């Protein structure tokens, strides 16, 4: 595939993105807007989504897009998001299921059930609900049918004091592999990214504490965090035809952290 077709293949395609009010989701949404895509972004923070698209609307007020007040942990909310996207633009071509939250740092036995449920409901069940409603919508509308889920390095290895997040992100890896196999005959591709520490609002407050920052950085061979922009290329690769023979895989983007 030529570089040119990589740059143009998202033009006028309908791309759903969750968690696009900031961080990684915002950077991916903006890259897709740059590539001419029609984006449908769902997030509990719709003001942040307005900010994500604002520079593009300033250039062209008629720019097609949809912002949806979404809670990925709610079946009716996710179904509403998918239905609204199909009603607005007639089909769904691509999806980036990226919304997520961290858990508070605690030993497993100190995690109460409410916090466990909250993290698993948003980080894992949220991805299940997105897949459950997106895949039939992609098939029924004749969309391109390519999905990327955001897992984490914590979906591939263990760590201390992050049980609920680690469990949920391993679940995202499992959901990715299962969905890829269930729908391989329908030519739907499903892959995941597993970022390492990335400088986004999610972790900014934890990194502000020098006592936490030093030990976190010392685990990274590249000795720096990822910028959210550095996660964009792998996502676009997995969405694009450049990865047409790749499905059910997890791409780790972590500066070498999980290699050591």
Ligand X SMILES: NC(=O)c1ccc[n+]([C@@H]2O[C@H](COP(=O)([O-])OP(=O)(O)OC[C@H]3O[C@@H](n4cnc5c(N)ncnc54)[C@H](O)[C@@H]3O)[C@@H](O)[C@H]2O)c1
Q: Using the rule CB under 6 A, is 48 a contact of ligand X?
A: yes
For 173, list phi and psi in degrees, rounded to 5: -65, -45
Q: Using the rule CB under 6 A, is 67 a contact of ligand X?
A: no
Q: Using the rule CB under 6 A, is 217 a contact of ligand X?
A: no
Binding-site residue total for ligand X (CB under 6 A)? 29
Contact call for residues 126 and 117 (beta carbons, < 8 A): no
Site for ligand X in 120-149 (CB under 6 A): 122
Contact call for residues 195 and 235 (beta carbons, < 8 A): no
Minimum distance, C-beta of residue 122 to ligand X, in the bound complex (Å): 4
Question: Integer distance in angstroms from the first to the last C-alpha of the chain?
Answer: 34
Q: Using the rule CB under 6 A, is 19 a contact of ligand X?
A: yes
In this chain, which stretch among 71-79, 80-88, 209-217, 242-250 interacts with ligand X, using CB under 6 A?
A: 71-79
**How much is the CA Rg of the chain, to the nearest whole Å?**
18
One residue of 41, 67, 101, 190 binding ligand X per CB under 6 A = 101
165 is catalytic: yes
| Nearest in space to 119 (alpha carbons), one of 159, 79, 182, 163 | 163
| Nearest in space to 197 (alpha carbons), one of 177, 221, 176 | 221
Selecting among 165, 183, 237, 245, the annotated active-site residue is 165
Site residues (vs ligand X, CB under 6 A): 18-19, 21-25, 43-45, 48, 70-73, 98-101, 122, 150, 152, 195, 197-198, 200-203
């Amino acid at each position: 595939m030529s570089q040119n077709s990589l740059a143009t293949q998202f033009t006028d395609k309908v791309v759903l993105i969750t968690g696009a009010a900031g961080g990684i989701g915002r950077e991916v949404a903006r890259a897709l807007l740059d590539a001419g895509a029609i984006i449908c972004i769902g997030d509990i923070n719709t003001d942040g989504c307005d900010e994500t698209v604002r520079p593009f609307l300033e250039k062209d007020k008629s720019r097609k897009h949809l912002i949806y007040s979404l809670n990925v942990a709610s079946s009716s909310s996710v179904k509403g998001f998918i239905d609204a996207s199909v009603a607005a633009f007639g089909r769904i071509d691509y999806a980036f299921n990226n919304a997520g939250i961290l858990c508070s740092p605690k030993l497993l036995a100190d995690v109460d059930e409410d916090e466990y449920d909250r993290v698993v409901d948003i980080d894992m069940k949220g991805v299940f609900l997105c897949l459950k409603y997106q895949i039939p919508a992609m098939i029924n509308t004749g969309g391109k049918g390519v999905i990327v889920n955001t897992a984490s390095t914590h979906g591939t290895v263990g760590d201390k004091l992050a049980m609920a997040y680690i469990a949920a992100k391993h679940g995202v890896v499992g959901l990715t592999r299962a969905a890829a196999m269930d729908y391989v005959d329908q030519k739907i591709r499903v892959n995941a990214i597993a970022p390492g520490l990335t400088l986004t609002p999610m972790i900014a407050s934890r990194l502000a504490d020098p006592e936490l920052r030093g030990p976190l950085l010392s685990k990274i061979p590249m000795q720096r965090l990822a910028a959210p922009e550095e996660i964009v290329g792998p996502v676009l690769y997995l969405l694009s035809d450049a990865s047409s023979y790749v499905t059910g895989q997890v791409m780790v983007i972590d500066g070498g952290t999980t290699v050591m």
